[in-house]
Copies of this chain bind each other. A is one copy, B any other.
Amino acid sequence: MHEFELIERIIARLRDTACGDGVVLGPGDDAAVLEIPNGHQLVVSTDALVAGRHYPGGACADAIGYRSLAVATSDLAAMGATPAFATVSLTAEDLTANWAEHYASGLAAAARDFGIAIVGGNIARGPESVTVTVHGHTPRGQAIARSGGGPGDALFVTGCLGGAGLALADENLGEWSLIALKEDSPVRRYWMPQPRLGLGIGLRDFATAAIDISDGLSSDLDHLCRASGVGCEVDLDALPLYPGATALDALASGDDYELAFAAPPDAQGVIETLARQHRVPITRIATLRRDPRPGVAWTRNGMPVEVRPGYRHF
């Protein structure tokens, strides 16, 4: 099928998710034209998924569509940003109309769930991969960086860890389409991660640092600590785990897209309120401390533990 017909099919399938608040000009021109609310700053992140590496080759197109937008949007949650727009670049060797429409359906489902408009993109022939750039906004100066954590801040993680990672053991992981993913399960967590958007927005007012857990807690917590110039000691038994996941599994697996964040100790009450409001368990796992060599020390029963690093792209 001709490129321009494919694009028309994709846009048709996106329907209401290709327009919305702030979209002055959506897909189909040289560029999209967008409005950011007055007094707000733009928050932008880009993420790529490569077939056979970041998801099983031959996976269902709608699942790829959903997951590709979800993992990119998780970075907006980590910044406390309100999600707004995304552009999507898709390469595939043989892009059929059927595949493209399924992909667009999954993308549209995620766009609706997260309140994002798909405003543009690109398709090209090449080895299958998807690159998504997401745009959100925060009131000026309120984005949460990784670098603001200080000694004495409490360190929290949302939800539970290791669930999505269990899905990697499922040899049929690539055969699930969205419609089959009805109940909470590792494969659902893998294909339909739910970025902590509402919670992230709620954290703007008092979190000092935040990061999304995409490479595994061991790597991502290290990033937060190093960027903030602090250390911390985390007991493996303090981690909230998905049923059936071990702490070591959970540390090394990304794909959960939960948040880790720091906040002053007196914020405990507000955090409990946020947790109830957004129906997200929030677990305090450590306290940040001065450390000449910033990073995380993992322990169990007070004894040091060696942990595998998280996912490494190279």
**Partner of A89 from B3, B48, B123 at Cβ < 8 Å:** B48
CB of A204 within 8 A of chain B?
no
**Partner of A125 from B44, B50, B88, B121 at Cβ < 8 Å:** B50
In the complex, per-residue mask of A10-35: 1 if CB is within 8 Å of any chain B CB, else 0: 00000000000000110011111111
Q: How far is the CA of A30 from the CA of B135 in the complex (A)?
A: 12
Stretch at the interface among A79-87, A151-159, A181-189, A288-296: A79-87
**Partner of A2 from B32, B123, B312 at Cβ < 8 Å:** B312
**Partner of A43 from B33, B76, B81, B313 at Cβ < 8 Å:** B33
Copies of this protein chain in the complex = 2
**Partner of A34 from B41, B47, B78, B121 at Cβ < 8 Å:** B41
* Nearest CB on B from A313, distance (A): 4
CB of A46 within 8 A of chain B?
yes
Q: CB-nearest residue of chain B relative to A210?
A: B30
Interface size class of A (residues with CB under 8 A): 35 or more
In the complex, per-residue mask of A223-245: 1 if CB is within 8 Å of any chain B CB, else 0: 00001000000000000000000
Q: Is the CB of B85 within 8 A of A44?
A: yes
List the B side residues contacting A35 at CB < 8 Å.
Answer: 41-42, 140
List the B side residues contacting A36 at CB < 8 Å.
Answer: 36, 42
Q: CB-nearest residue of chain B relative to A79?
A: B31
Q: Is the CB of A30 within 8 A of B129?
A: no
**Partner of A33 from B2, B46, B79 at Cβ < 8 Å:** B79
CB of A75 within 8 A of chain B?
yes
Q: Is the CB of A45 within 8 A of B25?
A: no
Q: CB-nearest residue of chain B relative to A219?
A: B4
CB of A278 within 8 A of chain B?
no
CB of A95 within 8 A of chain B?
yes
Can you spell out 19 A-B residue pairs with CB atoms less than 8 angstroms apart? Answer: A2-B314, A25-B145, A29-B227, A30-B45, A31-B45, A31-B76, A31-B136, A33-B43, A34-B42, A34-B44, A35-B41, A44-B87, A44-B120, A44-B133, A44-B135, A46-B121, A89-B131, A123-B314, A126-B127
Q: Which 8 A-B pairs have the closest CB atoms?
A: A50-B126, A31-B45, A127-B127, A131-B131, A133-B133, A30-B78, A46-B87, A30-B75
17 new A-B contacts at CB < 8 Å, known A3-B313, A48-B131: A1-B314, A3-B312, A30-B210, A31-B79, A31-B134, A32-B44, A44-B87, A44-B135, A46-B87, A46-B88, A46-B122, A48-B124, A48-B126, A54-B124, A87-B133, A127-B129, A129-B129
